[in-house]
Amino acid sequence: MSPEARLEAMGLTLPEVPTPVATYVPFRRDGATVYLSGQGPRRPEGGYHVGKVGAGVTVEAAYGHARQTALQLLAVARLTAGGDLSRVEIVKVFGMVNAAPDFADHPKVINGCSDLFVEVLGERGRHARSAVGMGSLPNGMTVEIEAVIRIVEPA
């Protein structure tokens, strides 16, 4: 089953790739390697999911925010792969959690992103990863995630 068919079976659609609001681009390609800029959990009505995980935002809610962010990263990845997610392999994920000072479950939050990548891309979704806590994130968003991917040639 193709990644696009998996998304459809899961009832998920990829969002539009947002236009950057500052002096950067959504991705930078170097040969087969593509660096995806950090994404945050956008609300359908606009803005971001905001707050501190461990102080008003639960791990479960933040897991969902990381999952939403993964969809946004997949939208950018699909763009870089000529519209074909079957050509995308996730290499590295760097997940940042807007966390209360005593919060320690950062990996449980970023699992939302990692789990979705594997559900959609199968083995090509497995990746190296860092999950860290931050004192704050832009716009107060709960998570920000960036990724390094590789574009593989069609079989």
Give residue-wise pLDDT tens across range 84-99: 999 999 999 999 999 9
Topology (CATH) of 3-12+29-151: 60s Ribosomal Protein L30; Chain: A; (3.30.1330)
Q: What is the dihedral of CA 17, 105, 114, 90, to 10 degrees?
A: 80
Domain boundaries, the chain: 3-12+29-151
| CA 13/CA 149 separation, integer angstroms | 20
Give residue-wise pLDDT tens across range 12-47: 999 999 888 889 999 999 999 999 999 999 998 889
* Entry pTM: 0.96
Confidence of residue 155 (pLDDT cuts 50, 70, 90): low
